[in-house]
Amino acid sequence: MSSIETLITEFSRLPGIGRKTAQRLTFHLLAQQAGQVGALARALDAVAERVHACETCGNLTEEQPCAICRDPRRDAAVLCVVEEPSAVPVVERADFRGRYHVLGGRLSPLDGIGPEALRMDALLERVRGGAVQEVILATNPSMEGEVTATYIQQMLAGLPVRVTRLARGLPMGGDLEFVDGVTLAHALTARQEVG
Ligand SMILES: [Zn+2]
């Protein structure tokens, strides 16, 4: 495959980018000065090389542990469980001051994604560590998000930890990523204990 074809294929793997847009992006880049293309290539290289999952919470970071896990002003007794790192900035906008646990996805039996594919064991370990008093389930308002939340609720049953769920009212079927800060702040404040 030619290098142009390879780039078009790589672009078309991105969300929301069809073959046509991928072609447009590729030819747009090729029409730019070489320096500009080099800058993009270096930026991609840099994130690929430096950004990793935080060993504690699973959030994306350039340092271990991440800035949120390291921050002593944040409440280590409250863990907010989200599916993807992209949900963290959304919960941050809702003024959450605890810490996170990023699962790295959601349970989806139809796609063959079981608990072992997610950071479930790490969550259990953190809760068993004893410092966590509340786990807030902030999985996406979708069918799979619900299944994932229910699984965690059952996994933590019997442990001395309060398990809460974001209040209902978030647009169902959506992604936390697209919920605005104010709406999420309400859902967070009105969270309810489950199980
Ligand atoms: Zn972290």
Single pTM value for the model: 0.86
pLDDT of residue 52: 96
CA of 70 to the centre of ligand 1 (A): 7
> What's the rounded Cα separation, in Å, for the pair 76 and 61?
18
Residue type, 111: D
CA of 138 to the centre of ligand 1 (A): 16
pLDDT of residue 169: 73
CA of 36 to the centre of ligand 1 (A): 33
pLDDT tier for residue 13 given thresholds of 50, 70 and 90: very high
Q: What is the pLDDT of residues 143-188, one digit of tens each?
A: 999 999 999 999 999 999 999 998 877 777 778 888 888 888 888 9
Q: What is the pLDDT of residues 105-150, one digit of tens each?
A: 999 988 999 999 999 999 999 999 999 999 999 999 889 999 999 9
CA of 111 to the centre of ligand 1 (A): 28
Q: What is the pLDDT of residues 48-80, one digit of tens each?
A: 999 999 999 999 999 999 999 999 999 999 999
Beta bridge partners of 158: none
CA of 68 to the centre of ligand 1 (A): 6
> What's the rounded Cα separation, in Å, for the pair 168 and 185?
12
Reply yes or no on whether the pLDDT at 16 is more than 90: yes
Task: Please state the separation of Cα 64 from the chain's center in Å.
Answer: 17
Mean pLDDT rounded to a whole number for the chain:
93
pLDDT of residue 61: 97
CA of 53 to the centre of ligand 1 (A): 8
CA of 150 to the centre of ligand 1 (A): 24
> Strand runs (DSSP E) across 56-180, as ranges?
60-61, 75-82, 98-102, 134-137, 162-165
CA of 21 to the centre of ligand 1 (A): 35
pLDDT of residue 168: 76
pLDDT of residue 19: 96
Give DSSP secondary structure letters for 25-76.
HHHHHHHS-HHHHHHHHHHHHHHHHH-EE-TTT--EESSSS-HHHH-TTSEE
